[in-house]
Amino acid sequence: MLQPAQAPPSAADGTPAIIKSAPIAARHAGRFTRHTYHEKPIAPGCAVGSCDPVPDRRRLALVVTPALAILALTLVIIVGDRPILRQRSLDTGTTRAAVAIRDHVIPFQKWGTKLFTLPHLEDGYDKVYYLTQATFGDQRHELAAAVEEALRRYDEVDIFLLAHGNFFIDWISGIDPALRQKIRLVYNTGCGNASQANLWLAEGADAYVGHPALHSVSPAFYFYFLRRWVRGYPLGEAVAEANRAAARRLDWFGQASPLTDATAVLFGPAELWIGGGGGKP
């Protein structure tokens, strides 16, 4: 058995060039001394504690590791979404505000919705009112007050109803009808709430986006939709792209069915965009 302090044989004995120098040989000897659980000498190029020859696969590592990292990132982007670049300047001379409300769901969903929604809205609007319900029916007064204040202070107001099937329309019906005409876009994640389109348009909204399916997986649509909308996509294009992207993911994960269909329907002008007017006189 090779003794710990014993240095490997010299190059003249036919050992590979890798341990030619004395310092390297000394290091090997030292490592062997520390790891005595394998009472075997470390052969040149071996992993510590093993006498099986392990070649230095530097080139393989340099190829495999970046390839794995690129593959991991690609997987993330494919399952998630590609970077969305701003389509055009949002500095159009009009002021706009967004009002969003999240219903009373589990903490993870409330937090996730806020984490995703708020930065996007703050990126695209001059003012954002973001509300989260703490109980069922909570924030009724706050929602009406936020919408009214936004309508009074800003040229255009978009409303995002991030909730299960709902009737928030009743909560804002007390606002002055003349003010309500400044409501531009209403997006509603509620299952089957596409049926409220005519009500919202009658209340003064220029456009309404809602989901017809009774158990719609609306978050799948919303994720792709909001990112495109705040980047300046025309409403019709944002809805169409988000519908395609959501349907593809639901299909991959076996969630696609008529009942859970995440498809949203647009009622109103397809050319509307975040920086543009709603087309009212």
Partner 1 sequence: MNPLARAAAWLRAENLAMPLAALLVAIAEIVSLWAVWTASFGPVRRIPEWADLPLGHAVMWGLGLAGSLLSIAGAYRLVRRGRAWVAAVVVPLVCFPTMVVGLGSLYSSLVVAAIL
In 3D, which of 34, 21, 28 has the Cα closest to residue 47? 28
Contact 140, 250 (CB under 8 A): no
- Cα separation of 224 and 111, whole Å? 18
- Site stretch for partner 1 (CB under 8 A), options 5-13, 60-68, 88-96, 190-198: 60-68
Amino acid at 178: A
- Site stretch for partner 1 (CB under 8 A), options 11-19, 22-30, 82-90, 241-249: 82-90
Question: Does 141 interact with partner 1 (rule: CB under 8 A)?
Answer: no
Q: How far is the CB of 236 from partner 1 (least distance, A)?
A: 22
**73, 202, 214, 259: which one binds partner 1 (CB under 8 A):** 73
Q: What share of the chain is helix, strand, coil (3-state, %, to 5)?
A: 45, 10, 45
Number of residues that bind partner 1 (CB under 8 A): 47
Question: Would you give the binding string for partner 1 spanning residues 193-232, x where CB under 8 A is met?
Answer: ----------------------------------x--x--
- Cα separation of 124 and 17, whole Å? 63
- Cα separation of 102 and 134, whole Å? 9
**49, 219, 236, 277: which one binds partner 1 (CB under 8 A):** 49
- Site stretch for partner 1 (CB under 8 A), options 61-69, 141-149, 167-175, 251-259: 61-69
The torsion angles phi and psi of 99, rounded to 5 degrees, stand at -120, 125
Strands (DSSP E) along 183-269, which ranges?
183-188, 207-210, 265-267
Nearer to partner 1 by C-beta: 12 or 58?
58
What Å distances lie between residue 264 and 19, 217, 239, 260, 278, CA to CA?
A: 68, 10, 7, 12, 19
Q: How far is the CB of 72 from partner 1 (least distance, A)?
A: 4
**115, 137, 141, 254: which one binds partner 1 (CB under 8 A):** 115
Nearer to partner 1 by C-beta: 169 or 230?
230
Nearer to partner 1 by C-beta: 108 or 136?
108
What Å distances lie between residue 186 and 87, 158, 206, CA to CA?
A: 21, 6, 8
Q: Tell me which residues touch partner 1 (CB under 8 A).
A: 34-37, 47-50, 52, 54, 56-58, 60-62, 64-65, 68-69, 71-73, 75-77, 80-81, 83-85, 107-108, 110-112, 114-116, 118-120, 122-123, 132, 227, 230
